[in-house]
Structure 1
Amino acid sequence: MKKHLFFLFLFFIHFSLYANIQLPGILSSGMVLQQKATTKLWGWATPGEKVKISTSWDNKTIETVADGNANWKVDIQVPQAGGPYSIVFEGENKIVLENVMIGEVWICSGQSNMEWSYNLGIKSVKSEFEQLNKLNIRLFNVPKRTSETPQNNINSSWAVCDSTALKVFSVVGYYFGKQLNQDLNVAIGLINSNWGGTPAEVWTPDSLVESNTLLKDAAAKNEPTAWWPVTPGYAYNAMIAPIVNYNIAGAIWYQGESNKNTSASYTELINTMIGAWRKAWNAELPFYYVQIAPFKYEKYNVGALLREAQSKNLSTPKTGMVVVSDLVNDTLNIHPSNKKDVGIRLANLALADTYKLKKTDYKSPVFKSFTVDKSNIIIEFDYAETGLTIKGKDPKEIFIADENKVFYPAQVKIKGNKLFVSSKQLKSPKAVRYQFSNAGIGNLFSHAGLPVAPFRTDNWEVDTSKVK
Structure 2
Amino acid sequence: MYKIKKLIIMNKKYILISFIILLSTSVTAQINLPSFFSDNMVLQRNSEVNFWGWANRGADVTIIPSWTNIPVKVKSTGYARFDVKLKTPEAGGPFDITVVCGVYKKVLKNILIGEVWLCSGQSNMQWNSNNKLKEMLDELPNATNQKVRLLQVSNIASLNPQDNIYDSWKECNPETAIGFSAIGYFIAKELSQELNVPIGIINASWGGTAAEFWTPSHIIEKDEELLTNAKKQKPSPSKPHDAGSLWNAMINPLVGYNIAGVFWYQGESNIVSYSGYNKLFSAMIKSWRDAWKYEFPFYYVQIAPYDYKSKPEEQRGALLREQQIKTLQLPKTGMVVVTDLVTDIKNIHPTKKMEVAKRLARLAIVDTYGRKSNDYKSPVYKSHTVVGNNVIIEFDDIIGKLKVEGPLITDLLIADESQKFFPADYKISNNKLIVFNKSIKVPVAVRFGFTDVSTPNLFNSNGLPVSPFRTDKW
Category of TM-score, reference length = shorter chain: over 0.9
Aligned to 2:96: 86
Give the distance between the partners of 1:406 and 1:384, measured in 2 at CA. 30
Structure 2 unmatched ranges of 5 or more: 1-14
| Aligned-residue offset at 1:128 | 2.4
Give the distance between the partners of 1:64 and 1:12, measured in 2 at CA. 22
Aligned with 1:428: secondary structure? coil
| Aligned-residue offset at 1:131 | 3.2
- Report the residue type matching 2:73 in the other structure: E
Aligned to 1:165: 176
Aligned to 2:114: 103
- Pairwise CA RMSD of aligned residues? 1.9
- Report the residue type matching 2:454 in the other structure: G
Aligned to 1:465: none
Give the distance between the partners of 1:267 and 1:6, measured in 2 at CA. 67
Give the distance between the partners of 1:326 and 1:61, measured in 2 at CA. 54
Aligned with 1:360: secondary structure? coil
Give the distance between the partners of 1:198 and 1:227, measured in 2 at CA. 9
Aligned to 1:408: 422
Of 14-23 and 122-131, more deviation after overlay is shown by 14-23
- Report the residue type matching 1:210 in the other structure: E
Give the distance between the partners of 1:11 and 1:194, measured in 2 at CA. 46
The reply to whether residue 241 of structure 1 matches residue 252 of structure 2 is: yes
Aligned to 2:325: 311
Superposed counterparts of 1:142-153, under 5 Å: 142-153=153-164
- The one of 11, 15, 23 aligned to 2:33: 23
Aligned to 1:452: 466
Percent of pairs with identical residues: 47
| Aligned-residue offset at 1:142 | 0.6
Give the distance between the partners of 1:111 and 1:241, measured in 2 at CA. 17
- Report the residue type matching 1:199 in the other structure: A
Aligned with 2:186: secondary structure? helix
Give the distance between the partners of 2:25 and 2:133, measured in 1 at CA. 49
Superposed counterparts of 1:342-357, under 5 Å: 342-357=356-371
| Aligned-residue offset at 1:53 | 0.6
Aligned with 1:163: secondary structure? coil
Aligned with 1:327: secondary structure? coil
Aligned with 1:75: secondary structure? strand
| Aligned-residue offset at 1:223 | 1.1
Superposed counterparts of 1:108-257, under 5 Å: 108-134=119-145, 136-257=147-268
- Report the residue type matching 1:354 in the other structure: T
| Aligned-residue offset at 1:220 | 1.1
Alpha-carbon spacing, 1:196–1:443, altered in 2? closer, same or farther (3 Å): same
Give the distance between the partners of 2:18 and 2:164, measured in 1 at CA. 32
Superposed counterparts of 1:290-329, under 5 Å: 290-300=301-311, 301-329=315-343
| Aligned-residue offset at 1:126 | 2.7
Alpha-carbon spacing, 1:220–1:15, altered in 2? closer, same or farther (3 Å): farther
Contact in 1 for aligned 2:121/2:204 (Cα 8 Å): yes
Give the distance between the partners of 1:229 and 1:18, measured in 2 at CA. 38
- Measured against aligned partners, the alpha-carbon deviations of 1:257-304 in whole angstroms (never above 9, x if no partner) come to 000121111101111111111111111010000000000002230000
Aligned with 1:326: secondary structure? coil
How many residues align structurally?
457
Moved over 2 A (4+): 5-19, 126-135
- Report the residue type matching 1:22 in the other structure: N
- Report the residue type matching 2:219 in the other structure: L
Contact in 1 for aligned 2:121/2:205 (Cα 8 Å): yes
The reply to whether residue 428 of structure 1 matches residue 428 of structure 2 is: no
Of 162-171 and 134-143, more deviation after overlay is shown by 134-143
Contact in 1 for aligned 2:135/2:354 (Cα 8 Å): no
Aligned with 1:60: secondary structure? coil
- Report the residue type matching 1:265 in the other structure: G
- Report the residue type matching 1:334 in the other structure: I
The reply to whether residue 73 of structure 1 matches residue 87 of structure 2 is: no
Aligned with 1:379: secondary structure? strand
Give the distance between the partners of 1:248 and 1:412, measured in 2 at CA. 45
- Report the residue type matching 2:325 in the other structure: S
Give the distance between the partners of 1:338 and 1:42, measured in 2 at CA. 39
| Aligned-residue offset at 1:120 | 1.8
| Aligned-residue offset at 1:17 | 4.8
With normalisation by structure 2, the TM-score equals: 0.93
Give the distance between the partners of 2:203 and 2:62, measured in 1 at CA. 30
Aligned to 1:58: 68
Contact in 2 for aligned 1:135/1:181 (Cα 8 Å): no
Give the distance between the partners of 2:390 and 2:262, measured in 1 at CA. 41
Aligned to 2:53: 43
Give the distance between the partners of 2:145 and 2:212, measured in 1 at CA. 39
- Report the residue type matching 1:155 in the other structure: Y
Give the distance between the partners of 1:95 and 1:226, measured in 2 at CA. 40
Aligned with 2:373: secondary structure? coil
Give the distance between the partners of 2:107 and 2:21, measured in 1 at CA. 27
Alpha-carbon spacing, 1:14–1:429, altered in 2? closer, same or farther (3 Å): farther
Alpha-carbon spacing, 1:376–1:154, altered in 2? closer, same or farther (3 Å): same
Aligned with 2:409: secondary structure? coil
| Aligned-residue offset at 1:12 | 7.9
Alpha-carbon spacing, 1:89–1:282, altered in 2? closer, same or farther (3 Å): same
- Measured against aligned partners, the alpha-carbon deviations of 1:179-236 in whole angstroms (never above 9, x if no partner) come to 1100100000000101001100010000011001111111111111111112111000
Aligned to 1:269: 280
| Aligned-residue offset at 1:91 | 1.0
Aligned with 1:136: secondary structure? strand
Structure 1 unmatched ranges of 5 or more: 461-468
- Measured against aligned partners, the alpha-carbon deviations of 1:54-74 in whole angstroms (never above 9, x if no partner) come to 011011101111211111111
Give the distance between the partners of 2:85 and 2:417, measured in 1 at CA. 62
Give the distance between the partners of 2:237 and 2:140, measured in 1 at CA. 34
Aligned with 1:149: secondary structure? coil
Of 180-189 and 16-25, more deviation after overlay is shown by 16-25
Aligned with 2:340: secondary structure? helix
Of 134-143 and 427-436, more deviation after overlay is shown by 134-143
Alpha-carbon spacing, 1:82–1:268, altered in 2? closer, same or farther (3 Å): same
Of 89-98 and 330-339, more deviation after overlay is shown by 89-98
Contact in 1 for aligned 2:143/2:177 (Cα 8 Å): no
| Aligned-residue offset at 1:334 | 0.1
Contact in 2 for aligned 1:41/1:74 (Cα 8 Å): yes
Give the distance between the partners of 1:155 and 1:7, measured in 2 at CA. 37
Alpha-carbon spacing, 1:134–1:149, altered in 2? closer, same or farther (3 Å): closer
Aligned with 1:69: secondary structure? coil
